[in-house]
Amino acid sequence: MQDIHMLLRQHRSIRSFSNEHVTDDDVEDIVISAQCASTSSHIQATTVIRVRDTDSLKQIAEAANNQRQITEAPVFLVWCADMHRIGLACEMAEGDMISGMTEQFISTTVDVALAAQNAVIAAEGMGLGVCYIGAIRNNPQVVTEILELPKHVYPVFGLCIGHPAEDPETKPRLPVKLILKEERYDDHNDRELIADYDETMNNYYQKRTNTKKVSTWSKEMARRYESERRPHMRDFLRNRGFEMR
Ligand SMILES: Cc1cc2nc3c(=O)[nH]c(=O)nc-3n(C[C@H](O)[C@H](O)[C@H](O)COP(=O)(O)O)c2cc1C
């Protein structure tokens, strides 16, 4: 077992995988570790669907910006927020589940994220590499149909897992002083700290092994947030039964 701090600080997304096999037992171990994450009121709202079928993987990749790691990774998992199973439990206990509450959307989505990140740590601890795929939400309806998700279940993100065939640099994070505040939200020094970080990121972007570029964190955020991203998500979630009341 590696030192946990070392393991966490060595994380970098892996987008190129070797052909080396990941066993079904490994996948099960990873998912069991995922299940051990804290879960809001023990709702255990995560369902993980492993996709192996080549056609399904191809269609999911097409729906997700043609990211080749989806079809190339030995393991591809779709992490779903699941109120359906809770509905079954309520029914079995002769209760009527009230669905569509915003709080349910938050608690199930948080549950999925915590479980998935446990899976990531477990996988990385086994020497595997991972890449989350939020881009499945570019066309979540396609993914929903392929996976035959019942109502009250929605796909939050995908996760590629496999043996790394690349060794990218770790990506610098914001200065801890920016995100760890004392007692209240004091942002008087934030512009200065972001400017320092922009310089760090520009150096990183220019020197890193994969896709060098000239940019900063601020510029990347501006590019990302000056247009509406995935505006279809509101109606998609409503149709899935996450009405957000
Ligand atoms: C929820 C989520 C969705 C993501 N979606 C994608 C994706 O669709 N494609 C991709 O290549 N990376 C994706 N990533 C990876 C991020 O780009 C990456 O974690 C971030 O740039 C930090 O880099 P690092 O993981 O190498 O430290 C996603 C990460 C998260 C947490």
pLDDT digits (tens, 9 = 90+) for 45-60: 999 999 999 999 999 9
pLDDT tens-digit readout, 203-220: 999 999 999 999 999 999
CA 135 to ligand 1 center in whole angstroms: 9
Report the atom number in ligand 1 closest to the C-alpha of 156: 1
Confidence tier at 184 by pLDDT (50, 70, 90): very high
pLDDT tens-digit readout, 164-183: 999 999 999 999 999 999 99
pLDDT at 2: 63
Alpha carbon distance 115, 35 (integer Å) = 6
How many residues in the chain? 245
Residue with tokens 């922009």: 198
Q: Give pTM, 2 decimals.
A: 0.98
pLDDT value at 1 more than 70: no
Residue ranges covered by each domain of the chain: 4-169
Contacts of 174 (CB under 8 A, 6+ apart): 193, 194, 197, 217
What is the share, in percent, of the chain residues with pLDDT greater than 70? Answer: 99
135 Cβ inside 6 Å of ligand 1 = yes
Residue with tokens 């779709």: 78
CA 12 to ligand 1 center in whole angstroms: 9
11 Cβ inside 6 Å of ligand 1 = yes
**CATH class in words for 4-169:** alpha beta
67 Cβ inside 6 Å of ligand 1 = yes
